[in-house]
Amino acid sequence: MEERHRLILDRNLVLIAESMDLVELLPYLQQEGILREHHVESVRKLSPYEGRLELISIIKRRGPKAFGTLCNGLALSGQTHLVEKLCCFETTSVTVPTSMGCSAAAFENGVCVGERHSPVPPSSPIVLDKFYAAESLFCSDVPTTDGYLERMKVEICNFLPKDYNENEYYKNSSRPKGLALIINNHRFKGMPVRSGTDIDCMNLQRLFTQLGYVVKAKRDLSTKDMIESMLKFSQEKEHAKCDSAVVVVLSHGLHGEIYGSDGKLISVERLILFLDSYHCPALINKPKLFFVQACRGSHLDMGREINARDDIVRVSTLIRMVTLDENDAGDLRKKIPSQADILIAYSTIPGYVSWRNSARGSWFVQAICEVFSKYACKEEVLHLLTRVNDVVATKMSACGHVQVPEPCSRLRKKFYFLPGHYE
């Protein structure tokens, strides 16, 4: 390997150790003859962080073609943020599938040299490398969920809460309980793929089906597609016969906004508006539950030890990577605020990243499936989400980072899923 290539790897070692996704990269490097089987095994037996460092150590010893092949592998696996940092001065070319975001033959070392697709509108002040936040990292060390779908079974509700009455509890005994829409964005233009999101989607489909919902999942939606899907969902006639509704969004995100597969942003609040009392009268007075698995900023939470100072670090600094006016006072008819009866469960707090394991899914969705399947039969939703907070907050990534979700409630009553209970 040339000395200049060694220097490039050394200068970006922290970025590589924190963010390189090995799931698709290792097989490619082995296929191209850069790695042998014993190399792959030595990397895989280590923690994700240490494995990446070991891979770079091996690459440096694998000859003059190793660096160029690494760049090609990063491009083919959608790791554009690393391609731009490591390979921007090289001249070899690679063909990348159009699903990566550019035309098939318009890549040079994985960097699109023809038509480029910006992840945000040109007028946006957001810098690309700040977007690639830790939600897309393979830097977690959570318990494996292999086979979890087969083992997950929602416990049935055998009795109603002792103090149940319609004034304090939402009715949720229709068959089905309601409709559930899952927006699952996996591939994007100009951004890393969200490896592991399909695991989340399958887990959630199974969970909400067992909870009594009719689930529809949609994959890789642009912002326009998300708007159209939410509009269609809000107009479903079945809502009138159901007692509740669920929407799940799995995507990249930033500061209260969600990325579509086209790399454009749409605010979470805009999606929520489709189910408010003005736009979806069939769900007036009925609980609407939103679950959002996405980053909400670029901060990493390092947690806090007893007697230790706060240590919160920006992603951009650490690894340089890649959101009612009172005007009816004269009307004396009884009204409900248009934004009432809504619950939004965010995977993380404002300004912070959300962790997802490329092979096992996100911490947040794993916790929801674990907690809801066991306790939804006897606890109301805010209690469930408090349990989810605890499960997620006690996890730690292999890089030493932590996370805590944030439920935001506009509910007026207590809400129970009541799995298995129908009238």
d(CA 77, CA 355): 19
Query: CB burial class (10 A; 0-12, 13-18, 19+) of residue 19?
Result: buried
Q: Residue 400, Cα to own-chain centre: how many angstroms?
A: 19
Q: Are 20 and 138 in contact (CB under 8 A)?
A: yes
Question: Does 252 participate in catalysis according to the annotation?
Answer: yes
d(CA 300, CA 402): 8
Residues whose CB is less than 8 angstroms from the CB of residue 295 and which lie 6 or more positions away in sequence, other chains included: 133, 134, 135, 252, 253, 254, 348, 352, 353, 354
Which residue out of 186, 252, 299, 401 is catalytically annotated? 252
Nearest to 285 by CA among 344, 342, 324, 341: 341
264-294 b/e (C-beta count within 10 Å ≥ 16 → b): bbbebeebbbbbbbeebebbeebbbbbbbbb
Q: Are 315 and 13 in contact (CB under 8 A)?
A: no
d(CA 416, CA 232): 26
Q: Are 155 and 85 in contact (CB under 8 A)?
A: no
Angstrom distances, CA of residue 257 to CA of 181, 270, 384: 18, 9, 25
Which residue out of 71, 87, 102, 295 is catalytically annotated? 295
Question: Does 295 participate in catalysis according to the annotation?
Answer: yes
Residues identified as active-site: 252, 295
